[in-house]
Structure 1
């Protein structure tokens, strides 16, 4: 097992994360020359998102990636500056034809239930992700026809039928690269998500599903000297305001997924630091293209034309969120730019014209029942009404909304798809009719072909050119309508250090520590 360099100050991680990017937030507090201290506890609070399980290979994977990545380690890992590095796989290489990837595993690693981590465990996990009966929510990030071989305990070979240039990114930043104990999965079956077991720095001590998880230090963690914290508590609260007050009063160290209202309310608090990265995710209305009214492209485009993103950015989002016309955010190397000419951007007259053409438009939208999302839905509802569009708000628990959208039991759903640096890892599974979850039900051969080309073409610039065409085609078919970009924002108390925040919604806690315990 390899030892890693001791944790740097939090400011260093943030500097790497934000280097070369515009629109970044303030740097975190620098604890000076302080060295990491072992011991202590950290508490995270969140609102508007919950979890129904902690399984990594089911239809609706929990959206709380920091929690997941504290329990599970991945084959590869992304650094704060966006570089893919070996992790549980200590090295890897690909063949000249890009159809064979060989991974050499760390040795002596065990899952927290004592099961050995080895090539057979990796094979089990990868095959579980692509098992058609499993319906894994992020399984579409792996080619569905892969074959996985384990020639010895420390070697895994993945065979592909065509090149997949996004494979390393998928294994580093999505659930397909996370490793669960085969013993625990087989033991618990459909209830495994209530009893998760990984090789990560922490393990579950107790859980009240959707409300609170208590993690404790993994005493046999394979990275020498880590983690520093004794425990981590992750708690879902009823409202964003109560989460912020808990943070301000010292009852928590980090508020995860901060809305603009809370970021604005926290300005000037000397004890809190806002962590904000360039946006990868998009705040959007997912439209079910398989049934009325959104099986009619005119209805979809009418909704796009009716939403005034610039006004929302100024009046509702306090400038923290910005207008966007693409699923590919500015935090990605493939960002197509602020304008996508094919997208139906705000044009009230055109929206009214289309509504009249189709004889009226009404629909119901599923929205998470938190104050910030409901406030946003009300603002959108008012805008649509000006175009003659009647939008009814159906407020539901976040986990129920996710389940309904992924089972196509909806007309429209307010959705934030967690963005990733490589578009193949999140655009294709959601909008390619041949792969992944495809919650919009979109069937578009042109888009499918572009996404396939983006996955198999070598060279970043060549792939960027393809994804510019993807953004254009998505604007044309309008299977989803954008409200704003969605940078991941967190507020943290200055007593906590060493959290490694990525440009995605992932963060790592193996180097986290607290001062003034």
Structure 2
């Protein structure tokens, strides 16, 4: 495998893991914050140069597949974080070392009980259509995201604010818009969010959320259904050409709020079919950056030619088990899967041992990381064979699905081979992101049995964190346990990081006790750049919001 990459970059930041956690406490446990105005705490390498253009390659299995760039209607959401952030900017960024960085918002304050959050919007900013960016524009977006548009598209963030009552006869968990006054504009540049329960994670929950990307209300009303093809924001770049699933070209926003930024004149985001295709394109100078390379051999080979940035993982791979349908509505069947699963040889064979094995929903790059969870059922093939026979798992076929990315597919195939050696029968399936979402939600979430996915975020209460995979309210969860829901709610309820982590430790132990889903390793793909490209997340480490960091493209420059 070659551990040169780890020694060059990853090992350097691994040694500072404790410092990352400490910095995280500043963003997650303080009751107020004045966010840094510098965009992303850029660590300069080489002389900063303004101008020029780059091509950024995106995998067709993840970020290179998009249909709509309207956040409230964008089902690819987190996969398109870099597109959205380039066009819209962000209210807050997750910066280096877990620092909350102000972009289109400048600060926040929690009330003592952590129920009320006051957010200050940056003054003097305009959308690229010339209309004002202010608190009223943010409120318009949030009412749209949390209301009918976001709900209709299954994207509405489930904020802890008072909601309108569900229609009579609606199924449990039906999302409804916030009641009037739950979110208030209290001044031209001030919003107040009134939550019905303490939530010290609110600011961290904005990262990588559709609510962090603010669209022009005027443009939405003017463009109507076509807005997602012609998006307008107040970010560092404006859209020149948008060909879904193929190419997105953006150019510098000359009216961007941060003087001297963005550095680049133009970025072309281009879809490629595989890691191999991206690697060859970089060698041929047909691209300058490839995001999220996961093929171990190519990461190793890339180190001889390019800059390789490995960021500490925050999103472990996990095996989701659907407890709502057979066979995994049986706890002993779930325990059998735990006992039948040995991730060490899979990690070594497919990934060269590159990533740490974990037992919970956090990784070393995030807060509340707990590598060893009490009571976790480890690999035990003898026990597995006994449980397989007792539960009749050997007499049925288990459906095992995943996203159509090579690493996930190869991991699933290796896992199936391992299980089959113990007497199980496996049917493998994989889908691009849109198809995977459909597979999760079909038949009210009762058409799938098991899925290899990622489950975690920098803050477990945010993005595709633990709630995304284990909370009863999530359409992407196979678990429906009120006690677990309660623990997760308590964990996000404090602004004291030590209190939050204590509840998350309890939640991890509860998941292990009930065999709700074994965890693999804290995966984090690499970003590959040609020499001369510099920027956070590309050539200096940046905290991963979820699986990968959100690159602040305004701070990226090219000095070949």
TM-score by length of 2: 0.81
Listed one character per residue, the Cα deviations across residues 382-409 of structure 1 (whole Å, up to 9, x for unaligned) are 0110222212112322321133224524
- Conserved? CA contact 1:48–1:238, under 8 Å: yes
Match of 1:480, SS state, is: coil
Q: Aligned pair in 2 of structure 1 residues 134, 31: CA closer, same or farther (>3 Å)?
A: closer
Listed one character per residue, the Cα deviations across residues 334-388 of structure 1 (whole Å, up to 9, x for unaligned) are 011x222333322212222221111124222233334333222211110110222
- Conserved? CA contact 2:310–2:525, under 8 Å: yes
- Give the distance between the partners of 1:157 and 1:388, measured in 2 at CA: 57
- Conserved? CA contact 2:78–2:209, under 8 Å: no
Q: Aligned pair in 2 of structure 1 residues 293, 210: CA closer, same or farther (>3 Å)?
A: farther
* Residue 105 (structure 2) pairs with residue 89 (structure 1): yes
Correspondence list, 1:59-70, <5 A: 60-70=76-86
- Conserved? CA contact 1:368–1:397, under 8 Å: yes
* Residue 116 (structure 2) pairs with residue 100 (structure 1): yes
- Give the distance between the partners of 2:139 and 2:329, measured in 1 at CA: 40
Deviation of 1:289 after TM superposition, in Å, equals 2.3
Deviation of 1:256 after TM superposition, in Å, equals 1.0
Moved more, 34-43 or 72-81: 34-43
Deviation of 1:227 after TM superposition, in Å, equals 0.6
Aligned to 1:113: 129
Match of 1:42, SS state, is: strand
Listed one character per residue, the Cα deviations across residues 130-163 of structure 1 (whole Å, up to 9, x for unaligned) are 2266236664463242611113321211112222
Aligned to 1:431: 470
Aligned to 1:203: 238
Match of 1:313 among 335, 347, 355: 347
How many aligned positions are there? 495
- Conserved? CA contact 2:44–2:535, under 8 Å: no
Aligned to 2:69: 54
* Residue 369 (structure 2) pairs with residue 335 (structure 1): yes
- Give the distance between the partners of 1:15 and 1:87, measured in 2 at CA: 30
Deviation of 1:411 after TM superposition, in Å, equals 2.5
Aligned to 2:551: 507
Deviation of 1:17 after TM superposition, in Å, equals 6.8
Match of 1:236, SS state, is: strand
- Cα RMSD for the two superposed structures: 2.8
Q: Aligned pair in 2 of structure 1 residues 359, 96: CA closer, same or farther (>3 Å)?
A: closer
Match of 1:351 among 381, 384, 404: 384
- Give the distance between the partners of 2:258 and 2:91, measured in 1 at CA: 14
- Give the distance between the partners of 2:209 and 2:150, measured in 1 at CA: 16
Aligned to 2:531: 494
Match of 2:192 among 157, 170, 191: 157
- Conserved? CA contact 1:202–1:217, under 8 Å: yes
Q: Aligned pair in 2 of structure 1 residues 299, 267: CA closer, same or farther (>3 Å)?
A: same
- Give the distance between the partners of 2:45 and 2:106, measured in 1 at CA: 32
Gap runs ≥5 in structure 2: 1-8, 21-42, 163-177
Aligned to 1:289: 323
Match of 1:463, SS state, is: helix
- Give the distance between the partners of 1:72 and 1:186, measured in 2 at CA: 17
- Give the distance between the partners of 1:40 and 1:111, measured in 2 at CA: 23
Q: Aligned pair in 2 of structure 1 residues 133, 241: CA closer, same or farther (>3 Å)?
A: same
Listed one character per residue, the Cα deviations across residues 273-294 of structure 1 (whole Å, up to 9, x for unaligned) are 2211221011223232222222
Listed one character per residue, the Cα deviations across residues 106-135 of structure 1 (whole Å, up to 9, x for unaligned) are 122122233321111111222233226623
- Give the distance between the partners of 2:15 and 2:155, measured in 1 at CA: 29
- Give the distance between the partners of 2:219 and 2:110, measured in 1 at CA: 31
Listed one character per residue, the Cα deviations across residues 298-341 of structure 1 (whole Å, up to 9, x for unaligned) are 333322222211111111111222322111112122011x2223
Match of 1:364 among 399, 412, 436: 399
Q: Aligned pair in 2 of structure 1 residues 151, 229: CA closer, same or farther (>3 Å)?
A: same
